[in-house]
């Protein structure tokens, strides 16, 4: 499932995939794969992304039914 919430939060901060990747210490391809729903990040990476984007885990990674 695509993570449109992550993509939207990243865009709201005016960050490219590469810039976010640099902040959290992963490759741009990893950020791309998370946004496309092709990669399930570790909780540590999820938290790093949340801190970088000033969001909570619920706001970025919780799927609503």
Residues 9-63: pLDDT tens digits? Answer: 999 999 999 999 999 999 999 999 999 999 999 999 999 999 999 999 999 998 7
Complete domains list, the chain, with CATH: 4-55 (1.10.260.40)
Q: What share of the chain is helix, strand, coil (3-state, %, to 5)?
A: 65, 0, 35
The pair of structure tokens assigned to 37 is 């729903």
Query: DSSP character for 1?
Result: -
Specify the 3-state DSSP secondary structure of 19: helix
Structure tokens at 9: 């939060």
Dig out the tokens for 17 from the structure.
């995939």
Contact 10, 20 (CB under 8 A): yes
**The pLDDT value given to residue 5:** 95
């Amino acid at each position: 499932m695509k993570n449109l919430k992550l993509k939207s939060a990243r865009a709201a901060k005016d960050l490219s995939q590469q810039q976010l990747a640099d902040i959290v210490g992963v490759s741009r391809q990893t950020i791309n794969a998370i946004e496309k729903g092709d990669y399930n990040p570790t909780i540590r990476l999820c938290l790093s992304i949340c801190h970088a984007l000033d969001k909570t885990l619920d706001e970025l990674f919780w799927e609503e039914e």
